[in-house]
Structure 1
């Protein structure tokens, strides 16, 4: 901004110079020569008139008149030296200079948008502060007003105009646009961020969300693919699960939506503030599912179902023993138990994939060694049950902070491959 005012001052000084220099240093002129040239022109013109009059017979004594003109020319010859024009004093220039400055800055103040320019530069200077407040990284935890959001958007656009290869800047602009319900800007910004860094999970999530909100044909398919990619690399990403659940519910795939929300509940734990909201979502999806299955429920009456269940009970008990796995969990002597946390026991496919097939969370107060049996009831997703595995691995981890997404410093252990219906042992003796 200082550079701007310096440039305007230089331009005004140039304008003042064009006005003042000719006034202070006027162009020299010769008064004697100028008067002599005028007399000669007058003499020649008069001689020409006498010649015309003489030819017409109006003048008889032409020579006498010519002599008189010559004498008059000699008598009117100016005497003296050349003179310069009268100089203007600096004091006389002062009103003009004031007028020039007033017109220049007055016109700019009227039509130049100086207030908008100042607000723009102020918004750019506040970009670090506004970014921290948006992310909740400020001591006062002061929320952003509508004007703050507008300033942050303007500052970000300015920064991205100068540095358009910043994927995180485009991601932040996309998130702001989504919060302002500006779907077109959100999709544009998220697409630019994804083009610059397609492997970043936050960018994948943001781009998927913007595609879901756009409602364009085929956009939802691309969004699902992005979210599945995120889950493939990080099965504990609750935001991706939430978006997949929302999408499944909108597509009337209520079983799938319930599965995603149930998985979220197991990941975040019973004390998380989001649990009541998840419960309501599951209840809403379940009610829709029950309505769709109402006809089937009527056919399968309670009496018939009870009879079949009674006849099948002995067989079911024997079959259930084959559809489970039992693990005995113990601690190594050097394991240091945290003061708070949970014990997470999960079942994985035999190839060691990070995505669990089933999981159980126990309080840290549980005594070791402990024996636990996992069944289809502990499956993370209804469409892929524990009983669908012929071989599996059992993992146990002591979660120290209650957040399943962070593992740094946690103790863990893993079993050998175990067959469905078998039992195994897990020794917790390693640390992330």
Structure 2
């Protein structure tokens, strides 16, 4: 932090210079002006006295003045010179008074020179963000490090230290957001939700709109609850909608929940509202696909999708005027055919003693850039290894999160000791990233590391 203090001192010195320079300049100008004026008057008085004395001497020698008249004129001339000298003395007194005024001005200047740094640092101590600067210096590079393949143990240690520092100095919304996003990337959804909530509280305290952060908090908790719309998730959504009824993250969650419960009309309403308030939503294609799938489930015709620019020709003939026994199958005839990833999963021989045949393996694909929600997932057991699985839209976690919506994905295979998809200490995993969707090539993933 030494550079911070050096820069602050330089700025204070510059501020002092703006105060000091005009005072010094005015004092010098006034002093020089007074000195020149006094010298000019003295020279002029002496020259006048000499000239006049020579004139009356000349008049006396010419016989035009008597001795008495000469002495009288000379006395008057000398008296005038003395008067002028008194005037100069008066000017000196005035200069002395002016000097006293200058001393007062200098005193005021001195007070300002002392008060500027004292007041500046006092105000910064009250309203500044030195703790925030320190935390940014210390943790500002932690997120890039996570994405660059830092060992997971080191990442966990960083996040633990970051959370402890934030708990000690909680008034740092940027720090909470950093913790939340990093936790989402590591599938620590409970911690991500907690961090988003702390950030939202700080934003509300500053009277800023926190609805989007509440929506992210609800989304993280939704993932932590295995995609269940629990009462706690609903309570967070209520906070988001209390400020912004059209908060898009919340609307997306309500749409997913409604679809999974077979409430297709509600799903269409929620997802359609997202596209109305945010036509350029980054997940637009997935939202449109979800709406189409819900319409197909209702047996509704799809001659033209009102949310997209082109007709859905492949779907319209299939659903117009009739439905099949399983309407959900109609959505699988879309352009997502071939949008899959073939994965061969193996277990490193060195870890064979760490697992049992009944241990659960989760194999899933996740967008390289985007939401951490899996786009496709397969549940297997260790006894089936090695195994070749094909991750496609039929394995989607929800209608808005499908593998066909991504060009590249990260593949992760995890042996879960707890039976839950979230990473826990003691689990074994392996991964590959990035993987191109629909390439037809088989991606080999070896489970070769332990989760700490």
TM norm structure 2: 0.36
Larger radius of gyration: 1
TM norm structure 1: 0.37
